[in-house]
Structure 1
């Protein structure tokens, strides 16, 4: 039997899913999910059960990935065995081979072949059409020009249930939930193995993504590609992206960037985030970058560098909204409109006396419920929870949690306002690294939305 007939025979008996729409809107029938193949029996030409399907080997074709081999776990050898698709005769609930077990040739993947489980499942990809980073939960296969090909992926909740063997839940209880399928033509792989195919998404297109998504991409690339993408973004977008990159990756990136490029990016970052980046640089380069930065921006960063990295002074940002004690509520709103775009997290407005000492605090709710002509001294809270710059990060986090605060002011011993520590920065400081890695994938995006950079 020819390869084309063999593949046609397999496809004709595939368990069909709902019709899948291709990139041109055409309906692709007889689409099957990879998860439905896993665990299927493999039977040789003598009728002997050899094992169960574990994986498919795929190779780049003309436009899609083509299945080149099946991979099964041997019942006898307890090892993975590969069989070329040309040796597969049919599929009718199990894979039947055209040859006996003794004639299966030694199988070894070529340098152009990859395994679906290793290179696609659970990997992050860029949905070009939706311009977002998603995770692959299942893979869709069908016949294209008489070849078994990967035509898309399932990035929805139904794919997770199917992988767990709970497909019946998806079919019976989640009928109203839409399928979340993406055609392969709308995908660019982020996994290093898949980059051997090609990375189609242009850098201009990457620039349209949310900074948190760009950060996910950058963390998967090599140094040369990381620098190319950052250079293509512009200083402001590059700054927002670098803030979202994991600290260890940040350190490696800035190490290989020119000092003037680093300075341009840091000028567009929050002072506390810029200070964190400076902390990771060798002393000589850090000094050079600070000299190249705008004097005012560099001054804010230098002020934060005076404090221990794990203290309230090291965690705080010196960007906050403050008003004089003689102001009216209307003046507070004018101040918010004037500086609101420059301050990331606006939870409170702080009231200072003529010596910059913290006298009171106003929540946004306090302002909204007050009359414009009222003096802020009439509506502010004068009993204020505050910390000193040398207060530990653990203590700051405990205070924020105990009193249900979104931010806490930092003052010196005389009460002069120095900055604020926000709840997200305190949380990241107290969480161990292994726990931070276990945070949900969308944690950083949620954090970014809190910081005022919505999708």
Structure 2
């Protein structure tokens, strides 16, 4: 296919949008209009434009031992099966230098991994597709299918591509000068913390740095991601940070997760980090670190909703709605305590929503709630929660003072095999995962038409 990048509209004979694949351009001869060879195409340059498709701004052409910049306006035709023709033989002989926001498709994308946002997994770009729209070339699609080594030698380069929309991916370019342009529209921050943690488990060191750089723009999300990471990985990533930076992350984590994380730090770093925590968080963390990790005290969280027994149900429900910084799992139950903090009653949130809003908590709550001491072992905790169908389980001391609450997700995490994070969860029945590498034909998603 031969298309002029500088024309205002595609040739009239083209029934479909003109497209060119990067694999068909790289290393192709670059010639002037008369066909005289000038060099070979080394790379294609695109400029990032936030949420819009990146636009092609020029080529990197190898001439002898030098790499020169050729603006796209000087390109007469992209011919995927022959030459790349220029309007003239006049070239800027200054060596090519990448500018702010520029991405080199061969160096930065081709063969590199990207984040498939819909599937929350890392995939590799085997090719990219350039589409012609309104007088300019756009980076429109990415092919993540592994090419057949032998078939590729005989296959028509214009067929066999199964591309997906560029906007479905988050590129891991590793170029610091383009980060600021990519950051405002970073799609990775749409993912759940557990999904980002899974990406980090599969990432290389360079990919880790780039993913964490994006996640770190949202401190709350960053803390949630560290809560989901395997202990060894979290410790290694935090160990590369200063004490103040570690404390800033831990201050936003749940106290039980922060306590576990500090316990996994090197011994010489624990006290300096603890000293930098906010006083309230430091007190909670120190309390939790005093318990066996496999006991009720080691499992419990210290954030819970406890109110006076004479509180109206309507106020209790409103208090749940206003507790935005608490773990949602801990808000499935509301407790009542006396003036000394002793546990009196327990009520599930669903029960409160289904009862008279004007009633008092003491009137609609269970007066003898199931509870355990901080030294109760994990097996007994799991048995009690199973026998009584509990989502939360209060932990009290010898005087009945409410110390914390164990949630069912904490018990599940403690009882699953150690390598549970490495297992790939079966997709839901309505999920439509792209074909596995090697299948470049059947079932590929339809290409979304780009708009400049």
User: How high is the TM-score relative to the length of structure 2?
Assistant: 0.57
How far apart are the structure 1 equivalents of 2:392 and 2:122?
33
1:222 aligns with 2:205: yes
How far did residue 28 of structure 1 move? Answer: 7.0
Q: Which is worse superposed, 266-275 or 204-213?
A: 204-213
Secondary structure of 1:429's counterpart equals helix
Specify whether residues 231 and 125 from structure 1 end up closer, same or farther in structure 2 by C-alpha distance, changes over 3 A only.
closer
Residue 393 of structure 2 is aligned to residue 393 of structure 1: no
Work out whether residues 203 and 232 of structure 1, in 8 Å CA contact, stay in contact via their aligned partners in 2. Answer: no
Instruction: Name the residue aligned to 2:115.
Output: 125
Q: Does 1:349 align with 2:331?
A: no
1:202 to 163, 182, 187: 182
Name 2:390's counterpart in structure 1.
405
Corresponding position of 2:345 = 360
Distance 1:185 1:330 in 2: 45
Equivalent pairs, count: 312
Cα distance, 1:188 vs structure 2: 4.1
Answer whether contact 2:306 2:334 (CA < 8 A) is retained: yes
Q: 1:370 aligns with which of 355, 358, 361?
A: 355
Instruction: Give TM-score, length-normalised by structure 1.
Output: 0.57
Q: Does 1:250 align with 2:234?
A: yes
User: Secondary structure, in 3 states, of the residue corresponding to 1:202?
Assistant: helix
Residues 1-41 of structure 1: CA distance to partner in whole angstroms, max 9, x if unpaired? xxx99xxxxxxxxxxxxxxxxxxxx857899xxxxxxxxxx
CA contact (8 A) 1:350 1:358 kept: yes
Instruction: State the shift of 1:199 in Å.
Output: 9.1
Partner of 1:287: 271
Q: Is the 8 A contact 1:349 1:362 kept in 2?
A: yes
- Per-residue CA shift, 1:400-448, capped at 9, x if unaligned? 23332211111112221111111111111111123342252889xxxxx
Q: More helix by proportion, 1 or 2?
A: 1
Please tell me whether the aligned partners of residues 19 and 130 of structure 2 are also in contact (alpha carbons under 8 angstroms): no
1:321 and 2:308 are equivalent in the alignment: no
Partners of 2:258 and 2:171 in 1: CA distance: 30
The equivalent position to 2:399 in structure 1, one of 407, 411, 414, is 414
What is the distance in 1 between the residues matched to 2:197 and 2:262?
Answer: 19
Unaligned ranges ≥5, structure 2 = 3-15, 22-40, 47-105, 133-138, 146-161, 429-452
SS in 2 for 1:62: strand
Q: For residues 86-122 of structure 1, what are the alpha-carbon distances to aligned partners after superposition, in whole Å with 9 as ceiling and x for unaligned? A: xxxxxxxxxxxxxxxxxxxxxxxxxx99xx9xx78xx
Q: Is the 8 A contact 1:330 1:373 kept in 2?
A: yes
Distance 1:254 1:367, change over 3 A: same
Alignment partners' CA distance in 2, 1:216 and 1:203: 21
Q: What is the alpha-carbon root mean square deviation over aligned residues? A: 4.4
Residue matched to 1:182? 164
C-alpha spacing 1:142/1:343, structure 2 compared with 1 (3 Å): closer
- Residue in 2 that maps onto 1:39: none
> Matched residue of 1:433: which SS?
coil
Q: Is the 8 A contact 2:226 2:234 kept in 1?
A: yes
Aligned position for 1:241: 225
Please list every run of 5 or more consecutive structure 1 residues that lacks an aligned counterpart in the other structure.
Answer: 6-25, 32-58, 65-111, 160-179, 444-455
Deviation at 1:186, TM superposition (A): 5.1
Say whether the 8 Å CA contact 2:370–2:393 is kept in structure 1.
Answer: yes
CA contact (8 A) 1:189 1:199 kept: no
Query: In 2 relative to 1, CA 230–63 (structure 1 residues): closer, same or farther, beyond 3 Å?
Result: closer
Contact 2:140–2:165 (CA under 8 A) maintained in structure 1: no
- For 1:152, the equivalent position in structure 2 comes to 142
Q: CA deviation at 1:289?
A: 0.9
- The DSSP-based 3-state class of the residue aligned with 1:262 is helix
